[in-house]
Structure formats: structure tokens, C-alpha cells
Copies of this chain bind each other. A is one copy, B any other.
Amino acid sequence: MVIKNISGGVCAPLGFKANGIHCGIRKNKSKRDFALIVSDVRASAAGVYTSNLVKGAPVIVTKNNLSDGYAQAIICNSGNANTCNSDGIEIAEKMCSLVSGCGDISAKDVIVASTGVIGQKLNIQPMVDGIGELWNGLGNHSEYAAQAIMTTDTVIKTVSIEFKLGGKVCRMGAIAKGVGMVCPNMATNLIFLTTDVNISPEMLQLALSNDVKSSFNMISVDGDQSTNDTCCILANGLAGNERITARSAHYNAFCKALNYCTVILSKKIAKDGEGATKLIECSVEGAKSLKIARTVAKTVIKSSLVKAAMFGADANWGRVLCAIGYSGVDVDILKVDVDFRSVKGVLPVCRGGYGVDFSEEKAKELLLEDEITILVNLNDGAYKATAWGCDLTYDYVKINGDYRT
């Protein structure tokens, strides 16, 4: 299957427009804080959400709005998560009504999301005042929308691709925000995907629910799980392919395209983790089960000690083994091999649970790169999994020590 990177973000698929403006939720006037994505036609829609018991009000409203499998727009603000507020649901529903007030879209067909500080009331007024400008400016502005959903993100996270289904050219695009409070137990933070593929809501939901298990659920920045995690996809069918309504070759091809996008976004989210200086990938193979492979990969990625060692470019492989040991799954430590890999090469550091001699100089050179892979072979089966994270740095502490002020 041929997948081609193209430009356009969420506006790359046919029939999608986007915009992002500063409406005043944030004090900094140069920071966009209000985003909108609209499809020309009603679209199949699917979502996956945080499993935190504390759910942002927008999550509850979105779940409810998507219960019929269709939606047409996505509205989102940054600067305030609208979570733990007694009027949260009311405010989130008002945000949906703002969209329906502008065009021929039902408030029930709006996906709503908010990101930012928890427990402070979200004032609807800046959005009431700004919705006209936001709507009227809709166009090929995926980048503005991507900017408007950023919090402590330092770079825009976006991807867009082209692929074929049964001879028809199809497109998929996405924007995401990640950064902190990123934990591998649900599609992480905010991810909005658009596609012009024609697919039923049921198959779209199945594809998305399966996909996050190997993409957004395999990222960790700090092990904290957000209250507002939302990953939604709109599929408006304008590519004109034969509608996908069951498992088929076309469904499988769609899943591959989706995973191509979500893995790229997962790496971008991990690499831009709060304060991060590098992307850490843990690739586990030789596991007895998929669950073991995933658990081991995620545990290594989450270890504060592994993360701090990577920041220091220190080949402290004992911490990798230690994390495997407390991951809670059945592993024979005396079979475990560990290598470190970067563009500088591969360095074996552990064989059969014991250390092997290696050049500290070579290790340092390898680990100073900004993308490091920790290769773990459990030598115990055929399953594999990959997880993504980042190093733990002074700046993570700085960013999170005074986030609200």
C-alpha cells in the first residue's frame, strides 16, 4: 500500500475547513486559544476518551453527541480544561450551540474539547464574542487550529497523507496536542483526525478503538493521565470510495493509513513532552504475549530513572532491567537482552540478564543523539510492541512547578 505525505493537515481531505483565533481565554494576545474544524457534510464520527474517573465536561458532552455515530464540526479552546466546575456541562453545551448558531449544523453534531488548567470556571463570553470571527475565517487554516489547541507544546503536531482505496484517491489529516499529563492508558490528550473516506460509523469506531492500543496508548510523558483526553475522527465520505461497512481489504488498508498517521503523531507528542530533549522509543520483542510486550515497553518508558539517565546520556541499562522486573508481568530475567540504538549505531549492553562489556565512550556518543531506541528482547516468544516517551529534564520540573501562574 502506497502512502504519500501531503500538506494541508486537517484540511487535506476534501470538504474540510479549519480556523484558529485568539478570543481572550488566554491573557497572551499572540496565542490563539479557540479552534474550529468543519466538514461540508455530516460525517461518520468516532471517538476514544480518557478513562480517568474525573472527566472534563467536554468529554461527557462529546460522548453524548457522538452516540448516534455522526458529527460535522469540532470546537476546542485552550487555556482552561472546563473540568471540576459545577457549570461545566452547561458551558460545553453552549460551545456546541455557538457552532450551530453560525451555520446549518445541529449542536448535537458538534465535538467539543477544552484543554488547560483544571478547576477554574471557563468563561463563555470570549467565545461568544469570538465565534463570528472564528466561523467567518474558516478556510485552509489547519495550522491556525493546531496552534489554538496547544498548551505547553513547543511545536505544532500535524500530519496529512494520501492513499488509494479501490482506485479512489483518499486523504487523511490530523492535528494534535500533547506534552504533559500524558500517560499510556488512553488515546492521549487532544487528537482530531479528518478523512474523506466513506466508512460506516461502526467500522470507523472499530478502527479507531483498535488503533489507539498500538499508538496513543503506548506514549508516556509523565505517567499522569489527563481528565480531558479525546481522540476523534470525522470521515465525510467525499472521496467517493465504496462505503466500508465490514472487515475487508479496504478496511484493512484504511486501518494501515490510520496507524501511519497515529504513530507519527505519537512520536511527535512523545518527543515534545514537557521539557524533553529527546525521543525515547522502547521496542520489545520475543514476548510470550502481546500484553507482556506492551506492558514491558510502557514500564521502561515510564521509569523516571531510565528517563533521567537518557537525559544524562548515561548507559545505565541496569535501570532498564530493573523496570522490566517491576512491570508486573511474567518475564524470565535471565533470558533478557538489551541494546541501545541511535543513528550512531547499536550497542549491546546486557545479555541473558547480565551486563556485557561495552565502551562507555561509544555509549555516550550514541546516547547524545536526540532519538534513542531501547531494544529489549525477552527471547521468550513471538510478540512485539513499541512504546514512546521522552527524557526527564530540569525543564519538566520548571514547567510544572508553576503551571498556573
Interface residues of A, Cβ cutoff 8 Å to B: 51-55, 81, 83-86, 117-121, 180-181, 183, 185, 222-227, 302-305, 308-309, 311-312, 314, 316-319, 321-326, 331, 333, 350, 353-355, 392-394, 396-405
Contacts of A396 in B (CB 8 A): 304, 308, 397
Cα–Cα distance between A207 and B97 once the two chains are bound (Å): 62
What's the Cα separation between A222 and B223 when bound, in Å? 11
Instruction: For the complex, give the distance between the alpha carbons of A248 and B192 in Å.
Output: 63
Instruction: Report the separation of the CA atoms of residues A400 and B318 in the bound assembly, to the nearest whole angstrom.
Output: 13
Q: Give Cα A45 to B350, complex, Å.
A: 35
A401 to B308, CA, bound (A): 5
Contacts A/B (CB < 8 Å), 28 sampled: A52-B326, A54-B324, A54-B353, A81-B318, A84-B318, A84-B321, A84-B350, A84-B353, A117-B318, A118-B316, A119-B318, A119-B355, A181-B322, A222-B304, A223-B223, A224-B303, A224-B305, A226-B322, A304-B396, A308-B397, A308-B399, A308-B401, A309-B400, A312-B401, A314-B402, A314-B403, A316-B403, A316-B404
In the complex, what's the smallest C-beta–C-beta distance from A366 to chain B, in angstroms?
Answer: 15
Structural contact, B118 and A326, CB atoms closer than 8 A: no
A318 vs chain B, min Cβ distance (A)? 3
* B397 close to A227 (CB less than 8 A): no
User: B321 contacts A119, CB within 8 Å?
Assistant: yes
* A404 and B322 within 8 A (CB): no
By a CB distance below 8 angstroms, the chain B residues around A401 are 308-309, 311-312, 314
A331 in contact with B53 (CB, 8 Å):
yes
| Shortest beta-carbon distance from A368 to chain B in Å | 13
Task: Report how far A403 CA is from B308 CA in the complex, Å.
Answer: 9
* Contact of B405 with A314 in the complex, beta carbons under 8 Å: yes
How far, in angstroms, from A401 to B318 measured CA to CA in the complex?
14
User: Which 4 residue pairs across A and B have the least CB separation, nearest first?
Assistant: A118-B318, A312-B401, A54-B325, A308-B400
Once the chains are docked, how many angstroms separate the CA of A396 from the CA of B226? 24
Residues of B within 8 A of A405 (CB): 312, 314
Q: A222-B304, A394-B394 are in contact. Are A317 and B53 (CB under 8 A)?
A: no
Inside 8 A of A312's CB, which chain B residues have their CB? 400-403, 405
Q: How far is the CA of A324 from the CA of B227 in the complex (A)?
A: 11
Chain B residues, Cβ within 8 Å of A84: 318, 321, 350, 353-355
Q: Is the CB of A225 within 8 A of B119?
A: no
Whether A326 and B185, one on each chain, are in contact in the complex, defined by CB atoms closer than 8 angstroms, is yes
* A326-B53 contact in complex given A181-B305, A222-B305, C-beta closer than 8 Å: yes
Chain B residues, CB < 8 A from A303: 223-224
CA distance A261 to B392 in the complex (A): 34
Within the complex, the shortest CB–CB distance from A114 to chain B, in Å, comes to 13
Chain B min CB distance to A136 (Å) = 34
Chain B residues, Cβ within 8 Å of A309: 400-401, 403
Most buried by B among A185, A227, A399: A227
Asked whether A224 lies within 8 Å of B316 as measured between CB atoms, the reply is no
* Residues of the B chain whose Cβ atoms lie less than 8 Å from the Cβ of A394: 394, 397-398
CA–CA, A378 and B52, complex, Å: 16
